[in-house]
Structure 1
Amino acid sequence: MASDDTNRRFGLNTREGWWDDPLPDGKNQGPDTVRWPIMGVVFLLPFLIPITKSLVAAPVVTVPVVLSWLLVYAYAACYLLFPFFFRQVRPLKLGFGIVMVVLGLGVVAGVHANPFILLYGTAVMVFLAPAAWSVIVDLAALAVGALILLVQSRFQNDYGDLITVGSVTLAMFFMANLIRAIRRLELANKEIATLAVTNERQRVARDLHDLLGHSLTTITVKAGLARRVLESAGDIPRAVEEIREVESLTRSALSDVRATVSEYREVSLSAELVGARAALRAAEIDTDLPHAVDNVAPEFQNVFGYVLRETVTNVLRHSGAKQVKVHLGKNWVEIEDDGTAAEVVPGNGLRGLTERLAAAGGTLRTSVRSGGGLVVRAEIPLPEPRAAAPAVRAEPAGGLA
């Protein structure tokens, strides 16, 4: 899905990219607006020098001569100014390109200039306008140019220059679209990198929430239990044992944080069952937990381990429950508590679990029990069984009997 969105956004493998500028606003890059006028004048000299000489040599300054001057230098000015239109909206760029092509045709018709000068306009159209529009306008310009040559009886002498204009324009068309494709790919790669960084941040945030939420909650419960033991019974050996478990949990949490950041940490459903039993016992909550996870499909145990961890953490934090039951199936896990919750309030933990299960093709359902408390059920559909391969009957080595 993300790949399809990127293709549509940057005009990759889409028909719309031929008709519209596929790059986002402000991402179009053209020639340098400072250096280009100097280079443009150099390119224009072979066109301007002979035409200027012919206009200067006119014996009388008439209205047609003045119009010819205006056409020639307006055409040249457009060629020098076109880089400033690269960052404009598509209709303005398209209109500018069409005006320049029309001016070029006017120069060919009015000044009887060599049709090769059309190359300035067709090249600008190729680099400035979307691909489909440049093809339409440039083909129309070549057709009108051929018609002008026919009307002025110059076609036989100048048709070769017109073919040259078409050939060079075609080469520039492919070069312009190659440049655009490279630019689109660069922008798409940047966006993909940004999305990858965002996804990694979300993964680390989700893993740290699931990890530290459970570990710190268990540490808090055990530390509180040790304090109550010392305050009420003065049972120092038991208090020391609880504090040792707190120390062990702290070391384990630190190790898990390092592994999570490195993306090497794997959650074990069986280990989570052991941890849940210890945490709930320390909180003086009765448990009904399975003693083995053999009936759960191995490929689902990692995800279900996260579900069990987050649900038990929520029970310890918010539920006020006295009993917790956990049921396991081949492709599902269900955690039930008898707490005081009267409605489902989705938080970061449940949203993170929903994302994990969605990535595995599963669903998370949370509902309220009739007597209070929550039921959390995670389920992942089993893959459809493959069709059995047709039996092949063995033939005798000698072939047909």
Structure 2
Amino acid sequence: MSSLTPTGAWTSRDGRPGRLGVLFAAVWLVFLADAFRAAWDLAWQGTDPLRGWVGLLATLSFASVYVASFTWVRRRRQRMQLGVEPAAAVAVLGTLLALTVVMCVCVGEAGASGLVYVAVLGVLCLPARWAAVLTGVLALVTEVLGHTLAGWSSPAGLTFAICTAAFAMWGVSQLMARNVELIRAEEANARLAVADERNRFARDLHDILGHSLTVITVKAELANRLLDVDPERARAELLDLERLSRDALADVRRAVEGYRDLTLPGELARAREALRAAEIDADLPNSTDEVPSELRELFAWTVREGVTNVIRHSGATRCTVRLGASAVEVSDDGAGPRDDGVRAGTGLEGLRERATAAGAVLVTRTLDPRGFALSVSAR
């Protein structure tokens, strides 16, 4: 599946996150440097090395949990999974908040920088409304701590960092979500295209083989009846059977290869032969010159479907095909449409689709006193 998204280590060919996308999270850990340095100084040079080592361990653990959580969320996006289960989101954010508290207790104000990362992961793990609430609460807590705890400086810079980081990640998250939706839409379109092509092929196969097999069946029945009374004619019908079967095979091959074009004169010739084999009087036109080129294929399909239905379902003794510059009609003097809707089956539905695509209209009607007519007219 193609995509307009550029490829590379950051973004894959289909628009999903690439291998090095995790560096997008890891590179921002530089803002934990103050907390790490403060813990390092306490551990090696301060008067309370225990607090320093605990703070150092808490800072390293915080960085590891953050990068692992960010990577986990991105891998979920790779699997086209938007959102995170509430229990998992609470566990991740709760762990980071607990480590942030430990960092603040051990190294003071420098440990509060962890709140920025909590806000960022909150945007990735929570619905937008709850992420906004979490960001607001973190900003409020930062302001309260900055103004109440001794030795803490103005919290405005940290509060601003929490809000801007959350907003920036919200934009990135929206972009990732749109990419996922675009990929899903492309995959859905591909599935629909395959289904549409499968339906088209099934319709064409019905139109092609339905007609040919009907004629072959009628000729086989006729040959069987003539074996004892007219062997020469029976032999001729069997020769026709062989030719018709070869034609049917060629039609199927053409359908498989994607060639759907028919010739109107060829279909009229086949209709004449098929009606004769079914012992139905045929009143067919001898010329197709007045039919414009753009309607010839549609009219050929109409003749094929109409004559096939006459032979299969009508019980008629006469079939008439009328051909004009903008319309074709196939009529018979049979029993008309059956109550079980046989005449409105797959073949007519396929013909209706072709007519609509060509800007024409398909009409079926019952004739008085008996009979049935199928017509296709250009608008």
The one of 346, 357, 360 equivalent to 1:359 is 357
Cα deviation code 1:348-388 (max 9, x no counterpart): 2222223333333444332322323322222342xxxxxxx
Cα deviation code 1:59-83 (max 9, x no counterpart): xxxxxxxxxxxxx9xx999968795
Code of the aligned partner of 1:357: A
Q: Distance in 2 between matches of 1:44 and 1:212?
A: 72
The one of 225, 240, 245 equivalent to 2:240 is 245
Farther off after superposition, 220-229 or 188-197: 220-229
* Residue of structure 1 in register with 2:211 after alignment: 214
Q: Is the 8 A contact 1:107 1:113 kept in 2?
A: no
1:261 aligns with 2:256: yes
Q: Distance in 2 between matches of 1:173 and 1:158?
A: 23
Give the 5 Å matches for 1:1-400.
92=86, 96=90, 113-114=109-110, 115-130=112-127, 133=129, 136-137=132-133, 140-141=136-137, 144=140, 147-148=143-144, 151-152=147-148, 157-234=154-231, 236=232, 238-341=233-336, 342-343=338-339, 344-345=341-342, 346-381=344-379
Code of the aligned partner of 1:298: S
Unmatched segments (≥5 aa) in structure 2: 1-15, 18-25, 49-58
1:138–1:268 Cα change, 3 Å = farther
Q: Distance in 1 between matches of 2:141 and 2:360?
A: 65
Code of the aligned partner of 2:366: V
Cα deviation code 1:96-133 (max 9, x no counterpart): 599869969x959x967455322222212322245x54
Unmatched segments (≥5 aa) in structure 1: 1-28, 31-38, 58-71, 382-401
Tell me the SS of whatever aligns to 1:291: coil
Root-mean-square deviation (CA), in Å?
4.7
Cα deviation code 1:295-341 (max 9, x no counterpart): 33322222222222122111111211101112234333221111123
Tell me the SS of whatever aligns to 1:175: helix
**TM-score using structure 1 length:** 0.65
Tell me the SS of whatever aligns to 1:232: coil
Q: Distance in 1 between matches of 2:69 and 2:31?
A: 13
Q: Is the 8 A contact 2:143 2:159 kept in 1?
A: no
Code of the aligned partner of 1:332: A
Q: Is the 8 A contact 1:44 1:76 kept in 2?
A: no
Code of the aligned partner of 1:293: T
Q: Distance in 1 between matches of 2:173 and 2:248?
A: 56
Q: Distance in 1 between matches of 2:133 and 2:296?
A: 62
Q: Distance in 2 between matches of 1:350 and 1:207?
A: 12
Q: Distance in 1 between matches of 2:326 and 2:94?
A: 68
Q: Give the deviation of 1:145 after TM superposition.
A: 5.5
**TM-score using structure 2 length:** 0.68
Q: Distance in 2 between matches of 1:89 and 1:174?
A: 15
Q: Distance in 2 between matches of 1:94 and 1:307?
A: 62
Paired-residue identity, %? 37
Q: Distance in 2 between matches of 1:380 and 1:129?
A: 57
Code of the aligned partner of 2:280: I
Code of the aligned partner of 1:194: R
1:271–1:254 Cα change, 3 Å = same
